[in-house]
Structure 1
């Protein structure tokens, strides 16, 4: 065999080898392009039931039903977006999916937050059903038009939790610095004589430790999830508000999906997911309340504050103020309030 022939044969072999390698690489890349990764941001810790029992199972179900073509990467503890800007991050595409408490963006969801008012909800299950109903019926859907809403969530009733300061009547709040989770709860705390302080939930532990706060208003699931039960020892179980929570997706990202993958997302959205979340939140409320009782914390129960002579005034004043503030924005607060009452009744059963 001539040297020239050997060189030509070797060149041909190398060319074929490179061609095969190139085809293989191109095929792998093409297969990779079929996988859509969705970045999901929220502020709860990775140890919380919200992360482990709501979001992680949701992500697994989406991945399984898409045959692996959708991959969900979850970023807990506000590592990808701050707790108060997650909705806007989903709207502008910084993240693909996000979950946020509406009350953290003060004034952004005024109609939705009407559902947080006293007397409308006594459990997370009822709250979730009520919120999802109001959205599905078009009562509050206009507030989410810049994203693709997946499902609504809501907490159980928010009580008052302090360190060595039993709150039995509104006057007991006077002079106390209380963290407010939303404008509604803040109005009620202020009406009762307390000083509402706006802080993200991730700062509450250190704020209690340092004496920046005397107490806070949160549902039991959040008290446990953020380990605040290690510090607070007196609890007023009084349903004077509930917090609305959203789970939403970037609209362009959703629209970019093929129809069969949109269906996977749709099949894991809406009332069924709202019901799942409600059961998780209610279970956590029961668990952490039981733990506080077991360690000997002081428990004060005011199950119907709107009928309680001491609390009726501040709660009604807070409600009227919030509805007026919404009306001053040119929105029909009274109609939405009436619709929320109707949804509350339907969702109670």
Structure 2
């Protein structure tokens, strides 16, 4: 009843704002409010929108799953529970096959140029694949790796282990290597490892510290294993209901350039986590040899084959789509060799 009352109150506030000639939008995400993406990404983006609109378009942030579970944020935008949501498509395996190219291992080397490239590439497919919402922008997280309770060095070390994967493709990878994936949203990751339900996690470096996972994982593999994809999804009625000048402001802030800007601070913060781990005596950061890296990359190849199959099954030209993705990454110097 309390949640329903809150949503009714929010809806009434939005109506009142619109009646006053302003658009007051609700932005929902599932990260902690102190997360770098909010402080260096969402907040400057919102301020820029407000400034550009002369204060006519404002937003209120609802962090930490206040309006719904992390897994539900796409449907929350579709259903108007929030006007704009922060979506991890990988939380719903198989639902969005094209965008999951950004989850494939050893593809993206950095999140800044990688985000700009990823957004510009996905715009050609977003309207069809995510037809329920208005896709504002897409970006990727800084490359993550494996953080574990016990030392892991080669693909064979995954066999028999329970791993919390960052997204659907990592879940498939864990299964491919003989492990079992433990599917929980990021805010619940520490708990499942602490109680022994998982042996390791695939996570970006500083998120290990932000979510308290550093207390239960002391071993780290120093390699850019994967990225996670994200979308800023907007409720269609909220977008179409804006005045023409307000909609233009939103459009001007839903660009590949903004995808790079909004992810840049987060990328720097995540990268700093690696230095933290290296500086701590009770943590071990293992750098794979060239031979071990080749083994990791070889073990991941079936995931790309599976991606092609899924995209073809959905009616897409997987070869052309994949080639376009690689070209976009190469243009921004973010394609792994």
Report the TM-score range of the alignment, normalised by the length of the smaller protein: 0.7 to 0.9
Whole-Å separation in 2 of the counterparts to 1:115 and 1:141: 17
Offset at 1:280?
1.5
Q: Deviations over 1:282-301 (max 9, x none)?
A: 21122211111111211122
CA 1:162–1:30: 2 relative to 1, 3 Å: closer
Is the aligned partner of 1:282 residue 2:267? yes
Is the aligned partner of 1:183 residue 2:168? yes
Contact 2:127 2:134 in 1 (8 A): no
Of 88, 107, 120, the match for 1:101: 88
**Which runs of 5 or more residues in structure 1 are unaligned?**
1-28
Which residue in the other structure is 2:222 paired with?
237
Which residue in the other structure is 1:71 paired with?
58
Is the aligned partner of 1:85 residue 2:72? yes
Is the aligned partner of 1:273 residue 2:258? yes
Is the aligned partner of 1:348 residue 2:333? yes
Larger radius of gyration: 1
Q: Which range moves more in the overlay, 48-57 or 61-70? A: 61-70
Aligned pairs for 1:13-52 within 5 A? 33-52=20-39
Of 118, 139, 144, the match for 2:130: 144
Whole-Å separation in 1 of the counterparts to 2:252 and 2:74: 22
Offset at 1:83?
0.7
Which residue in the other structure is 2:200 paired with?
215
- Per the alignment, in what secondary structure is the counterpart of residue 80 of structure 1? coil
Q: Which range moves more in the overlay, 176-185 or 62-71? A: 62-71
The number of equivalent residue pairs is 318
Is the aligned partner of 1:251 residue 2:236? yes
Considering only aligned residues, what root-mean-square deviation do their CA atoms show, in Å?
A: 2.1
Offset at 1:256?
1.0
Is the aligned partner of 1:153 residue 2:139? yes
Whole-Å separation in 2 of the counterparts to 1:235 and 1:93: 40
Q: TM-score, normalised by structure 1?
A: 0.85
Contact 1:153 1:245 in 2 (8 A): yes
Of 275, 298, 314, the match for 2:284: 298
Whole-Å separation in 1 of the counterparts to 2:224 and 2:276: 19
Q: TM-score, normalised by structure 2?
A: 0.88
Offset at 1:110?
0.5
Offset at 1:304?
7.3
Offset at 1:303?
8.7
Runs of 4+ in 1 over 6 A off after TM superposition: none
**Which runs of 5 or more residues in structure 2 are unaligned?**
1-15
Is the aligned partner of 1:197 residue 2:207? no
Whole-Å separation in 1 of the counterparts to 2:308 and 2:225: 15
